[in-house]
Amino acid sequence: MTTIHTVLNPGARHVPFTGGTDEQRLIQGAARGETRYFTSTASNWPASGSGERRSLAISISLDRDFAWVLTDISAVFLKLDAGDTIKMDAVAMLEIELPVPGGSEYVYSSLVSAPSRQITAGTTAIGDIAADAYNTQWPILDTSSPAAMTFVGNDLPTYMLYPFDNTNNTVDISAVFSEAPTSQAVMTCRFAARFLQYDISQAYDWRVQSPALTR
């Protein structure tokens, strides 16, 4: 049985922060700015062929000249047709690769899809597909009342992310979605993540990295 792998490279928008002197910003542990990553409304998870499984990775490479804090990450998958059910049995995780001397350090977090409502049958038995289908329905403009499945980050790392070696390696982040069922239909994917940008020197500053964080 083969697995069809798809990689989406999101767009990015950087917003520099203003206000305060350099000394004030250092003492207060203020971020330099934020970078938001996002997929376009046309980003799709292609259908898998007959008897094929599929996976989807959304990949981000952070600027190695700065330190970063991941604040938010989310994704939604939409059906391309109308209906209040969605045939999707996906699991997801977040992989963060930090370059260290001689190799890489990996950090993992789960991306969780929580149920927003039950289907109209109202089945509640644990393990019953009707009860834990995690479906939701709401109207949007570019499709006709599609069903959706949402994912949000769970237990995200709160510390700064930056390369621990002095090479040209970057911090690489991948949000990976996988489905074991075969022959699944195409889905529209919308993804967003937000990172705060800091000077790498601040990553070594106890005022910023102390347990009594104020940001």
pLDDT tens track for 113-156: 866 555 555 555 544 555 445 544 445 555 555 667 788 998 89
Name, of 9-13, 155-159, 177-181, the range with top average pLDDT. Answer: 9-13
Mean pLDDT of the chain: 79
Please write the tens of the pLDDT for every residue from 173-184. Answer: 999 998 877 777
In order of 10, 113, 117, the CA distances from 120 in angstroms are 36, 19, 9
Q: Provide the pLDDT for residue 75.
A: 92
Q: Provide the pLDDT for residue 165.
A: 78
Q: Provide the pLDDT for residue 135.
A: 45
Q: Provide the pLDDT for residue 80.
A: 66
Quick check: 200 pLDDT over 60?
A: yes
In order of 92, 120, 130, 157, 213, the CA distances from 53 in angstroms are 15, 29, 22, 30, 43
- Rounded to the nearest 10°, the torsion over CA 94, 99, 105, 108 is -10
Quick check: 84 pLDDT over 50?
A: yes
Q: Which two tokens stand for residue 94?
A: 């977040």
Quick check: 83 pLDDT over 80?
A: no
**Residue 42 banded pLDDT, cuts 50, 70, 90:** confident
Q: Provide the pLDDT for residue 74.
A: 93
Please write the tens of the pLDDT for every residue from 183-199. Answer: 778 888 899 999 999 98
**Residue 58 banded pLDDT, cuts 50, 70, 90:** very high
Three-class SS state of 102: coil
Q: Provide the pLDDT for residue 184.
A: 79
Q: Provide the pLDDT for residue 136.
A: 47
Return the minimum-mean-pLDDT range out of 70-79, 93-102, 204-213. Answer: 204-213
Q: Read off the pTM.
A: 0.81
- Characterize the bridge pairing of strands 53-62 and 3-8: parallel
% of the chain exceeding 70 in pLDDT: 75
Domain positions in the chain: 41-67+74-190
Contacts of residue 71, defined as CB under 8 A and 6 or more positions apart, other chains included, come to 156, 194, 195, 196
